[in-house]
């Protein structure tokens, strides 16, 4: 037989694209269209319905950036269409091949009922099936003209990312708005041909099935009447039935499909637009559920449900009905799909608490899994936190984006830093927007790394980010692929069902220990520094407000714990931990609003804390310590005078000037407090840091060396930092002034001022205080660079085999060598409040109050000694998607802590991030709780969420070893329970004869105690 593959393939493609697809809508009549441009921000339906509309012609430009245009569409179904399937088909002028991040619309009836959205790949709205003929149609369509921010493949800087700079030129040209007949036979033929053609092209050249499909398609095309596609479609479909009905191989891979619509809670659009995107997509989903009984849709992010509940009650009611029918599956159990690295430990716990509680309260459903397909790496505390929240499985897909190494598993047990394991799956289809194309089906099978051990994977399907979610075409593809020779088998089912089957099939799956590090998007630890600082400050202000509100509730008669305010503020912070807000990868509008929200949150929390402290009385001035560690340090009075005070953990003490161990001396550019001696060079770097307790020099070279690198990644500017950034740099060694600015027995400080680049300036104040070996570097940057990154380096005379970086509820060790490609790929990593390096007998920590990105490297000097260098990433200057990212003023502090153990790093990390508070208060209420025993660290103190008055304490083992201790209370204790994160009892805790609660913790174990007051 001659090889006619090319002829057949080209013939099928042309007939499909130019004849079959164009005949899907057999007849059309246009709507009469009128338009009204809403002024400014979106308006309620009632306002739009009452507006005055003007005639609008097809082919007319419409839609300024971020605008809202309302269209009134009127029409009538022709009487001769009786008995046919009729729908509206609307093309707003969609552009490009990305169904999200552009124009989209929500179609309403004139009474305000939302019907369905219109999206680039989902342009229809059902009218009647079958039509009676003569139906009158009257729609109000809310159309959003959102700009395509990443047009031109991320290559162009654009002002469109903020309504303040986007201009008002129309972005789209309205193409058509019609009432149409859907020719179902032609539509099904279109899908038959698509599925078979795509399968054929994925099969091998020597696979008989490929040629069987090709010749079947060729013969079927002979039956297609080009002058009557509709009339000949049934015969063509009949000819294809045999080749479509051949069953899959018994050993075929099984793909569990679940409908999905990944909607970023903000990204290339502001939060206000996400609220509308969710309503549009969820309208589509509930409409599709009415058409397909076998459809199941998985949806995460409780925040998005709440937006729909509060703003679109009719859509919310349809969601509730779909949940009852089992077609809508709440998943994830988190408030938002948060970033996986940057939120603090307690914040991740609250993501689960608020998310799971929302689904329980609103649907009576407790979600079983963590659904995070798109976050940029995952911290190693997740398995424990997920299990403590009642989860059984974890899903992501993003690790498939690794730049260097291919992750070795798709189904595995993920083990966290404490030893907890959770069953985990990475969909080998490598997308969370699948459509069951032939290429996707083939890729899923080819990629799957568990062959021989397991035989199933999961595929989330549907268009995300405003693309409208799953479509009827994808559902039809799934039906055709349910049992088709040459392909994997598709079954649409709930994620819980997939995970149950996968775990039963593969209980001895391999184990991955530690963080899931994404070898990409490493700059998300640094971009948009003010957003990150707002998050860090908010997390610590929330801790402070909860602790002192609890103290006041226990000791101040008449004081009422502010449950509702704290709940609302927590949810605001949790929202902004979404994986495109906190990482700094959103448009300017998003970050402008985030900074404003963080400022508002800070004001409210400061007021709540002040109110709680004031409730304790006002007979004297006291110092309040929110840290879980005792403090002996210098604090400032209201007039700025330094005072040395000693304050117990989570408690308070009078503002009385205690005598420090040794006063501070300042001589020239040398600061000395008897613990450390710091010499500042003429160029403003640290020329020497001597640990006087250990009698050793800490630095191997210039300390606090500021290095400005060129920073232009290959792609994804705000997201990525590529290794070649290290090759081009300028050291900032020209100091315009080095000046002693404070010389007191308690404080010595030297200020260094620099100017560089395109008008940027840095002022740093290097401070040594009495009684502390910590050297603070308070930094004020006025930043005007572009495509640069600024790093601060501390080259330390230590041979450290690994660095330790704080993560949620513990720390993680990373090698300082690069023996393997896995280690070399971690050239930029994340950490929270501190990074520690050490050799037996000695360590040094670098502590910060708002930065997350850093790198640690080592080299051997000519004298044989080893230099281990810790560098903090301070600020970047990407231009896409926000051309002004990080421009302007930044203020933050980082510090060097010589002679530090891990426990010292933990304590000083808390201290730097939780400054002592000076306020008027009466009496000396005992700390709500205190701990005895090294390594037992209290992370949160609050009243129980159920308003019972019980006290909830969350603590953890912080050193990485076993811990035995006792928790004592500052109030009469009637009983104690160990609970899960949602404060539900797991079992009783023992209370000893002295009223203490003994605790025994494994390394990094998290323990939540619910304490009943006597």
* Backbone torsion region of residue 397, taken as left when φ is above 0, otherwise alpha when ψ lies between -120 and 50, otherwise beta: alpha
- Residue stretches of the chain with pLDDT short of 70: 923
Q: Could you tell me how many residues make up the chain? A: 1014
For 173-212, the three-class secondary structure string (H helix, E strand, C coil) is: ECCEEEEEEECHHHHHHHHHHHHHHHHHHHCCCCCHHHHH
* 3-class secondary-structure state, position 505: helix
Separation of alpha carbons 369 and 386, rounded Å: 8
Beta bridge partners of 258: 460
CB 499 within 8 A of CB 369: yes
CB 303 within 8 A of CB 336: yes
pLDDT of residue 924: 75
pLDDT of residue 620: 85
Separation of alpha carbons 63 and 906, rounded Å: 53
Separation of alpha carbons 258 and 460, rounded Å: 5
Phi and psi torsions of 129, nearest 5°: -150, 95
- b/e per residue 511-523 (b: at least 16 CB within 10 A): ebeebbbbbbbbb
Place of tokens 């303040």: 164
Separation of alpha carbons 3 and 256, rounded Å: 36
CB 29 within 8 A of CB 138: no
pLDDT of residue 921: 79
Burial class (CB in 10 A: 0-12, 13-18, 19+), 926: middle
pLDDT of residue 405: 98
pLDDT of residue 2: 79
pLDDT of residue 97: 77
Place of tokens 């001659």: 2
Picking from 108, 88, 106, the residue whose alpha carbon sits closest to that of residue 46 is 108
CB 727 within 8 A of CB 749: no
Helix spans in 825-972 (H) = 902-913
Separation of alpha carbons 951 and 947, rounded Å: 10
pLDDT in tens, 270-280: 999 999 999 99
Rounded (5°) CA angle 766-767-769:
165
pLDDT of residue 98: 84
CB 579 within 8 A of CB 375: yes
Place of tokens 């596609």: 229
pLDDT of residue 385: 98
Output DSSP code: residue 17: I
Active site residue ranges: 374
pLDDT of residue 738: 98
pLDDT of residue 907: 98
CA 14, distance to chain mean position in Å, is 43
pLDDT of residue 317: 98
CB atoms within 10 A of CB 653: 17
Output DSSP code: residue 20: I
- pTM of this structure: 0.97
pLDDT in tens, 419-443: 999 999 999 999 999 999 999 999 9
- Measured CA distances, 550 to 68, 559, 687, 929 (Å): 46, 10, 46, 11
């Amino acid at each position: 037989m001659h090889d006619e593959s090319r002829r057949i393939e080209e013939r099928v493609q042309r007939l499909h694209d130019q004849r079959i697809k164009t005949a899907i809508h057999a007849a059309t009549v246009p709507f009469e269209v009128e338009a009204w441009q809403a002024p400014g921000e979106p308006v309620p339906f009632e306002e739009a319905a009452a507006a005055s509309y003007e005639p609008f012609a097809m082919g007319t430009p419409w839609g300024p950036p971020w605008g809202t245009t309302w269209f009134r569409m009127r029409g009538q179904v022709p009487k001769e269409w009786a008995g046919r399937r009729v729908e509206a088909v609307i093309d707003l002028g969609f552009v490009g091949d990305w169904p999200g991040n552009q124009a989209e619309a929500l179609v309403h009836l004139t009474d305000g009922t939302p019907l369905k959205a219109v999206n680039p790949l989902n342009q229809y709205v059902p009218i009647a099936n079958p039509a009676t003929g003569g139906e009158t149609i009257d729609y109000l369509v809310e159309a959003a003209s959102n700009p395509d921010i990443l047009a031109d493949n991320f290559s162009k800087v654009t002002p469109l990312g903020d309504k303040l700079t986007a201009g008002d030129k129309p972005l789209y040209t309205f193409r058509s708005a019609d009432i149409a007949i859907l020719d179902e036979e032609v539509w099904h033929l279109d899908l038959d041909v698509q599925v078979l053609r795509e399968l054929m092209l994925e099969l091998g050249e020597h696979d008989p099935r490929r040629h069987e499909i090709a010749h079947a398609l060729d013969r079927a095309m002979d039956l297609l009447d080009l002058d009557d596609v509709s009339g000949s479609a049934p015969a063509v479909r009949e000819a294809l039935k045999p080749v479509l009905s051949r069953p899959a191989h018994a050993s075929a891979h099984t793909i569990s499909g679940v409908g999905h619509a990944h909607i970023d809670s903000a990204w290339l659009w502001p939060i206000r637009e996400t609220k509308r995107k969710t309503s549009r997509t969820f309208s589509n989903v509930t409409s599709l559920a009415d058409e397909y009984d076998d459809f199941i849709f998985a949806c995460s992010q409780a925040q998005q449900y709440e937006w729909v509940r509060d703003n679109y009650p009719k859509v919310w009611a349809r969601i509730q009905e779909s949940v009852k029918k089992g077609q809508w599956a709440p998943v994830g159990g988190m408030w938002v799909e948060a970033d996986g690295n940057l939120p603090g430990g307690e914040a991740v716990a609250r993501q689960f608490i608020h998310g799971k509680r929302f689904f329980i309260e609103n649907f009576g459903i407790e979600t079983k899994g963590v659904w995070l397909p798109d976050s940029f790496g995952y911290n190693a505390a997740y398995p424990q936190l997920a299990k403590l929240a009642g989860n059984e499985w974890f899903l992501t897909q993003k690790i498939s984006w690794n730049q260097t190494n291919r992750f070795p598993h798709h189904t595995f047990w993920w083990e966290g830093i404490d030893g907890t394991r959770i069953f985990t799956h990475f969909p080998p289809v490598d997308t969370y927007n699948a459509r069951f194309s032939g290429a996707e089906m083939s890729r899923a099978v080819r990629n799957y790394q568990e062959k021989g051990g397991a035989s199933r994977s999961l595929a989330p399907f549907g268009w995300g980010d405003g693309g409208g979610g799953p479509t009827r075409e994808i559902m039809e593809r799934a039906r055709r692929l349910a049992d088709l020779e040459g392909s994997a088998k598709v079954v649409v089912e709930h994620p819980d069902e997939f995970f149950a089957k996968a775990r039963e099939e593969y209980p001895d799956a391999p184990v991955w220990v530690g963080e899931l590090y994404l070898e990409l998007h490493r700059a998300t630890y640094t971009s948009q520094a003010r957003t990150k600082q707002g998050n860090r400050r908010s997390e610590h202000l929330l801790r402070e407000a909860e602790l002192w509100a609890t103290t006041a509730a226990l000791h101040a008669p008449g004081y009422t714990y502010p449950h509702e305010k704290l709940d609302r503020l927590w949810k605001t912070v949790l929202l902004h931990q979404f994986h495109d807000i906190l990482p700094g990868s959103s448009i300017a509008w998003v970050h402008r609003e985030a900074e404003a929200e963080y400022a508002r949150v800070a004001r409210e929390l400061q007021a709540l804390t002040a109110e709680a402290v004031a409730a304790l009385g006002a007979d004297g001035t006291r110092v309040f310590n929110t840290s879980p560690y005792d403090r002996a340090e210098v604090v400032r009075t209201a007039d700025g005078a330094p005072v040395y005070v000693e304050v117990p953990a989570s408690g308070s003490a009078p503002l009385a000037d205690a005598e420090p161990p040794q006063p501070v001396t300042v001589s020239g550019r040398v600061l000395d407090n008897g613990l450390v001696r710091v010499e500042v060079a003429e160029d403003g770097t640290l020329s020497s840091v001597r640990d006087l307790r250990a009698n050793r020099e800490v630095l191997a070279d210039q300390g606090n060396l500021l290095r400005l690198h060129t920073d232009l990644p290959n792609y994804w500017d705000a997201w990525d930092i590529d290794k070649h950034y290290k090759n081009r740099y300028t050291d900032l060694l020209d100091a315009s002034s080095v000046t002693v600015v404070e010389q007191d027995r308690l404080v010595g400080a030297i200020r260094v001022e620099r100017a560089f680049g395109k008008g940027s300036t840095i002022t740093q104040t290097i401070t040594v205080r009495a009684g502390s070996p910590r050297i603070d570097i308070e930094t004020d940057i006025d930043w005007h660079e572009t495509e640069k990154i600024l790093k601060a380096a501390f080259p330390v005379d230590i041979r450290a085999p690994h660095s330790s970086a704080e993560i949620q509820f513990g720390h993680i060790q990373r090698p300082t060598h690069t023996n393997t490609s896995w280690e070399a790929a971690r050239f930029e990593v994340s950490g929270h409040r501190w990074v520690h390096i050490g050799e037996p007998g000695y360590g040094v920590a670098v502590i910060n109050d708002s930065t997350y990105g850093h790198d640690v490297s080592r080299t051997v000097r000519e004298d044989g000694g080893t230099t281990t260098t810790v560098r903090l990433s301070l600020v970047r200057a990407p231009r896409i998607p926000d051309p002004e990212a990080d421009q302007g003023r930044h203020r933050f502090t980082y510090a060097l802590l010589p002679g530090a153990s891990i426990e010292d790093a933990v304590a000083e990390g808390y201290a730097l991030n939780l400054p002592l508070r000076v306020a008027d208060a009466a009496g000396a209420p005992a700390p709500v709780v205190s701990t005895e025993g090294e390594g037992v660290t209290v992370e949160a103190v609050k009243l129980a969420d159920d308003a019972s008055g019980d006290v909830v304490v969350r603590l953890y083992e912080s050193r990485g070893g076993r811990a035995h201790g006792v928790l004592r209370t500052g109030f009469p204790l009637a009983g104690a329970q160990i609970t899960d994160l949602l404060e539900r009892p797991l079992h009783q805790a023992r209370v000893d004869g002295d009223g203490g609660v003994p605790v025994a913790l494994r390394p990094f174990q998290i323990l939540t105690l619910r304490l009943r007051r006597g």
